[in-house]
């Protein structure tokens, strides 16, 4: 339709039917566009949901701590234990910390899901000077971490001995007195050693009768800490595996991280400890918020600690 507006202007006006057709086509295009966008958003949301669910255990997993007990930090054996525990736990949020850097305030703030005490190859009596004081402070702190903060702890080899010292046990060279400190050139227990299970415990789930474990140590736990339960023994070095009487705190003299297809018991021990820690955290540590204790600078402690 042509409409003349005065002598100099001409305005083209669409007919009503043509305008209606254009509006109807535009409406269809708009509806199709909205449907397409809705489908795209729905697919994207599903993909994001799947990705979030897959990564949630990693993103929100509470960290765990590997405490290096060697004077110079985390040894090769310490790093090997760390990698094995990281794999078996499925929790990559592990922290390696030297014992001299651990404080009650730090633990109370971090609230780790569990603590692993590493192997070490230095005689305890050779931790002298400032290093000896740091060791004594750390050992003094372990009962607090276990009994007041309710943190599950697993000590391996030297970590097993550190637990004994911390809770009032005695440690010394194999076939020597608890107060002796001799060079690491004489009595040693090494190789794969079959242990006798003396007390049933959840940490032995899936293990029947004999437990074969790799050993490599010169020192041993001479006397168990008061109240601790002996779980596994051996004639040459009797106090092989022990447990706190009421807390998920375990010491293993051997090396459970060295596990193979023909000797899987070591890996089973670690897996069982991790399951015990998970159950404990879900039932006992639901709040994860104990009061922060004060840290004391102790120079000398009479709890069976190594003498400087």
Runs of H (alpha helix) within the chain = 16-60, 76-89, 104-110, 129-147, 158-166, 265-283
Per-residue CA distances from 191 to 198, 216, 217, 291 (Å): 21, 7, 10, 44
Rounded to an integer, what distance in angstroms lies between the CA atom of residue 213 and that of residue 206?
15
Q: How many CB atoms lie within 10 A of CB 100?
A: 17
List 157, 217, 258, 265, catalytic entry = 157
- Torsion, CA 82, CA 242, CA 254, CA 121, rounded to 10: 70
Rounded to an integer, what distance in angstroms lies between the CA atom of residue 304 and that of residue 57?
41
List 78, 98, 217, 257, catalytic entry = 257
Q: Is the separation of the CB atoms in 78 and 96 below 8 Å?
A: yes
DSSP at 245: S
157 is catalytic: yes
- End-to-end CA gap in the chain: 109
List 98, 255, 258, 265, catalytic entry = 255
255 is catalytic: yes
Rounded to an integer, what distance in angstroms lies between the CA atom of residue 178 and that of residue 171?
6
Rounded to an integer, what distance in angstroms lies between the CA atom of residue 109 and that of residue 114?
14
257 is catalytic: yes
- Full DSSP string of 134-200: HHHHHHHHHHHHHHTS---EEEETHHHHHHHHHTT-EEEETTS-TT----TTS--EEEEEEEEE-S-
Catalytic annotation, residues = 157, 255, 257
């Amino acid at each position: 339709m042509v409409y003349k507006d005065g002598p100099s202007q001409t305005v083209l006006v669409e007919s009503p039917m043509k305008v209606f057709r254009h509006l109807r086509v535009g409406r269809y295009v708009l509806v199709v566009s909205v449907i397409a966008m809705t489908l795209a958003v729905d697919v994207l949301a599903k993909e994001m949901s799947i990705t979030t669910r897959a990564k949630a255990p990693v993103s929100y997993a509470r960290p765990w701590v590997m405490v290096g007990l060697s004077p110079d930090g985390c040894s090769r054996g310490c790093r090997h234990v760390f990698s094995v525990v990281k794999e078996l736990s499925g929790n990559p949020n592990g922290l390696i910390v030297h014992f001299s850097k651990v404080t009650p305030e730090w633990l109370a703030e971090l609230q780790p899901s569990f603590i692993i005490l590493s192997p070490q190859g230095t005689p305890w009596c050779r931790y002298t000077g400032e290093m000896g004081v740091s060791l004594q402070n750390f050992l003094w702190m372990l009962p607090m971490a276990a009994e007041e903060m309710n943190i599950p702890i697993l000590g391996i080899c030297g970590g097993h001995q550190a637990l004994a010292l911390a809770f009032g046990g005695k440690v010394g060279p194999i076939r020597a007195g608890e107060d002796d400190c001799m060079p690491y050139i004489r009595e040693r227990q090494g190789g794969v050693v079959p242990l006798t299970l003396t007390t049933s415990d959840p940490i032995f789930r899936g293990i029947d009768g004999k437990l074969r474990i790799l050993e490599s140590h010169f020192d041993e736990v001479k006397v168990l800490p008061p109240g601790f339960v002996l779980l596994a023994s051996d004639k040459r070095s009797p106090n092989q595996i022990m447990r706190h009487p009421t807390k998920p705190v375990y010491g293993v003299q051997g090396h459970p991280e060295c596990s193979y297809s023909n000797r899987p018991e070591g890996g089973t021990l670690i897996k069982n400890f991790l399951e015990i820690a998970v159950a404990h955290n879900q039932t006992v540590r639901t709040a994860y918020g104990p009061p922060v204790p004060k840290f004391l600078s102790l120079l000398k402690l009479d709890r069976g600690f190594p003498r400087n």
